[in-house]
Chains A and B, each alone.
Chain A
Amino acid sequence: MRHTISVLVENKFGVLSRISGLFSGRGYNIESLSVGETIDPQISTMTIVTTGDDQIIEQITKQLNKLIDVIKVTDMTELEHVEREMVLVKIAPRQEDKPEVLNIAEIFRGRIVDSSQKTYTIEITGDEKKIEAFIELMKPMGIKEFVRTGKVAISREGVRKK
């Protein structure tokens, strides 16, 4: 099963390497990883998406906790949480498809962040399902380039997971 794990770490050089080394050294897979400073510049948050059965996920969270630079590990999948990912898509549509592209972008609340004679660059933010749906619709339109940030996640307050 896929898990989104949020890790608070000391913002020091080498920490990313310790975390990625933990995954590679034990044969665990990282599907996506995003890192950024928190309000406290000495602390960073890493959001890691990984897959594994319960035993593997338990080992991953324990092993992460064991790293000296790791302050806190939260398996978001066990909590009610909000996930977001941002994607930038550069599309080179045929002339006749241009209105459709703009239409779809609007439906998905995308923003055109760059345009040229032949291309649009669209920014889309959302959870995984939304992103996947948008990409599916855009594929026939001629995706030229495509980058995604990887997921970030935050827990929801006052809600217990059923």
Chain B
Amino acid sequence: MKMTGSEIIIESLRREGVKHIFGYPGGVVLNIFDALYDTKDVQLILTRHEQGAIHAADGYARATGKAGVALVTSGPGATNTVTGIATACMDSIPLVVLSGQVPTMLIGNDAFQEADIVGITRPCTKYNYLVKDVNELSKIIREAFHIATTGRPGPVLIDLPKDVTTAKTEFHWPHIDVRSYKPTYEGNKYMITQSAHLIAKAKKPVIIAGGGVISSGAAKELHEFAELTRIPVAMTLMGLGGFPGTHDLSLGMLGMHGTYYANRTVQDSDLLIAIGMRFDDRVTGKIDAFAPHAKIIHIDIDPTSIRKNVRVDIPIVGDVRRVLTVLNKILKEEIQEQWEEVRKAWLKQVEAWKAERPMTYTWSDEVIKPQFVVEKIYELTKGDAIIATEVGQNQMWAAQFYKYDKPRTWLSSGGLGTMGYGFPAAIGAQLAHPGKLVIDIAGDGSIQMNIQELATAIVNKLPVKVAILNNRYLGMVRQWQELFFNERYSYSHLDVTPDFVEVARAYGALGLRATKPSEVEPVLKEAFRVKKPVFMDFVIDWKEKVFPMVPAGAPIDHMLFEETEKKGEKKLKAVK
């Protein structure tokens, strides 16, 4: 039977097991939307902005591991997804983005709502397609899902000219083989064996776990590896949840706002085992001074990540889970070490660093401290929630004061640092996990970047909770201005923020406010109890800053703490 391009798209999505897509209609995608009208098993979630759609698809992908799908129209519809595509690309999140395009005949004519979205997204997608022939459509969609979800995952865009969506052809579901795309999954056995010997010899080893642990599903294998060899684990922002934050071997996050003990451990180590991470500048600080005494084993599926920023002694290209499986086997069978005994001194040192400077903040009876809100969220949920964040101080406090025990419970824009990401991402995650408590930890600045998605949450009965840490400032910008720009608060004060309680009410959601520390717990309890979206407006101490902090460009053990800052020793200048 012949099908239209639009019907082929829906059938292909169905065969890829897609249940939900996020989107927004418009001129050239009307045929696809018409085909969706009669479709029962593929549901479209209508967002209020295409940026909301793309971030929701991203949140859906992060929370499930499946590809998130977005469908938007040509021109502005497509360009509105670019920030979200770049966000997913930086964080290696699988997305398939279907964008409408003007009819093939008109491409290049500056037609109404035409944009060269394939050209625009070329540097921020893993791959992209312009479909020119309806006979290629199903194959391209199948390839797109394959490319998005395998190897180092990433976003793939398919541009669909209107005439392709109306043209008819026989449906076929071809076997695909992309000859020029063959990711390496199995690590080199020799290199893995060498690593095992290096691990056995090391006196002061540390693991740095990144987002690759989560995308390859290697949390169990990492857990086994760390416990077997008794090596402490620091996590990148993307790696949170890859190793239990409550585990005694966990060092929490490292880097610019990492824990004192994570950074000290890394800097003092003689062996660094980097797993599924890419040595971002927020992790390494001053690169020449990073882990100066350490040999480095680097496991990553993307060969370009290896030796891009730091020297590596043992590079292992492969899927993190498979490499760790082999490594664990070798360690158990070939290297029988008395690990407990071997690690005693090193772990004692690490414990000493933990005791020396634990993660703390100064309590206040009068004004709400943002860290207290995050801690309370952790306490009340017992860690059993999915946390999304925006970007800035809210993101760092959420990373520091909540302990993530499981993968895919932490959704945050790491690489691109996209404000406005968290709320739509939380909506996507809630759709994927209807029974879970999903909380967006936000700032008053960030939440206003995609606040319109509250309508999406209401309409689709997605009871997402938003905890707004409201300091009336773009807090992280303000913090940098205070520390490094002589307190010249250039355009970081938001002056008028809307009454978030009223905003919530206007949309049909519940709005709650806490202005005193004693009100935090009742507000959270009420929010978690009701079965609808809630905005919680926590009026926090606007002076509060994120500590510890490594000034940009400084070595990661040059840390600025709250108390040194208070004593007026703060004048650690950013290194240019």
User: Does B126 contact A68, Cβ atoms closer than 8 Å?
Assistant: yes
User: Does A69 contact B307, Cβ atoms closer than 8 Å?
Assistant: no
Closest to A64 in B: B304
Whole-angstrom distance between the Cβ of B127 and the nearest chain A Cβ: 4
| Partner pick for A21 among B122, B127, B147, B179, CB 8 A cutoff | B122
User: Does B122 contact A65, Cβ atoms closer than 8 Å?
Assistant: no
User: Does A66 contact B147, Cβ atoms closer than 8 Å?
Assistant: no
User: Does B122 contact A18, Cβ atoms closer than 8 Å?
Assistant: yes
User: Does A10 contact B180, Cβ atoms closer than 8 Å?
Assistant: yes
Known: A18-B122, A68-B126, A68-B127. A63 touches B304 (CB 8 A): yes
Within 8 A of A (CB), among B115-153: 118-119, 122-123, 126-127, 130, 147
CA distance A9 to B304 in the complex (A): 19
| Partner pick for B181 among A18, A58, A68, CB 8 A cutoff | A68
**Residue B575 CB within 8 A of the other chain:** no
User: Does A55 contact B181, Cβ atoms closer than 8 Å?
Assistant: no
CA distance A9 to B307 in the complex (A): 25
Known: A55-B307, A59-B308, A68-B127. A14 touches B180 (CB 8 A): no
Taking chain A's interface residues, is the majority helix, strand, or loop, or is none over half, making it mixed?
helix
Closest to B181 in A: A68
Closest to A18 in B: B122
User: Does A68 contact B147, Cβ atoms closer than 8 Å?
Assistant: yes
**Residue A158 CB within 8 A of the other chain:** no
**Residue B178 CB within 8 A of the other chain:** yes
Known: A17-B122, A18-B122, A65-B303. A71 touches B308 (CB 8 A): no
Whole-angstrom distance between the Cβ of A13 and the nearest chain B Cβ: 8
User: Does B123 contact A21, Cβ atoms closer than 8 Å?
Assistant: yes
Closest to B311 in A: A55
Known: A69-B180, A70-B180, A71-B180. A62 touches B122 (CB 8 A): no
- Return the CB mask of B250-293 against A: 1 if under 8 Å, else 0: 00000000000000000000000000000000000000000000
Whole-angstrom distance between the Cβ of B204 and the nearest chain A Cβ: 27
**Residue A41 CB within 8 A of the other chain:** no
**Residue A25 CB within 8 A of the other chain:** yes
CA distance A14 to B118 in the complex (A): 9
**Residue B302 CB within 8 A of the other chain:** yes
User: Does B123 contact A68, Cβ atoms closer than 8 Å?
Assistant: no
- Which residues from B are CB-within-8-Å of A14? 118, 122, 130
CA distance A65 to B305 in the complex (A): 13
Within 8 A of A (CB), among B63-118: 118
- Which residues from A are CB-within-8-Å of B178? 68
- Which residues from A are CB-within-8-Å of B130? 14
| Partner pick for B307 among A18, A58, A65, A68, CB 8 A cutoff | A58
User: Does B122 contact A66, Cβ atoms closer than 8 Å?
Assistant: no
| Partner pick for B303 among A21, A55, A66, A69, CB 8 A cutoff | A66
CA distance A18 to B181 in the complex (A): 15
Known: A68-B180, A71-B179. A62 touches B303 (CB 8 A): yes
Closest to A14 in B: B118
Known: A68-B178, A69-B180, A71-B180. A17 touches B147 (CB 8 A): no
| Partner pick for B304 among A62, A68, A69, CB 8 A cutoff | A62
Closest to B317 in A: A62
User: Does A66 contact B180, Cβ atoms closer than 8 Å?
Assistant: no
Whole-angstrom distance between the Cβ of A64 and the nearest chain B Cβ: 10
- Which residues from A are CB-within-8-Å of B118? 14
CA distance A114 to B122 in the complex (A): 43
CA distance A25 to B86 in the complex (A): 14
Within 8 A of B (CB), among A62-115: 62-63, 65-66, 68-71
- Which residues from A are CB-within-8-Å of B147? 68
- Return the CB mask of B45-74 against A: 1 if under 8 Å, else 0: 000000000000000000000000000000
Whole-angstrom distance between the Cβ of A26 and the nearest chain B Cβ: 10
- Which residues from A are CB-within-8-Å of B122? 14, 17-18, 21
B residues touching A (Cβ–Cβ < 8 Å)?
118-119, 122-123, 126-127, 130, 147, 178-181, 302-304, 307-308
Residue pairs across A and B with Cβ atoms less than 8 A apart, 14 shown, are A10-B180, A17-B122, A18-B122, A21-B123, A55-B307, A58-B307, A59-B307, A62-B304, A65-B303, A66-B302, A66-B304, A68-B126, A68-B181, A71-B179
Known: A17-B122, A21-B123. 18 other contacts (CB 8 A): A9-B180, A14-B118, A14-B122, A14-B130, A21-B122, A25-B123, A55-B307, A59-B304, A59-B307, A62-B303, A62-B304, A66-B302, A66-B303, A68-B127, A68-B180, A68-B181, A70-B180, A71-B179
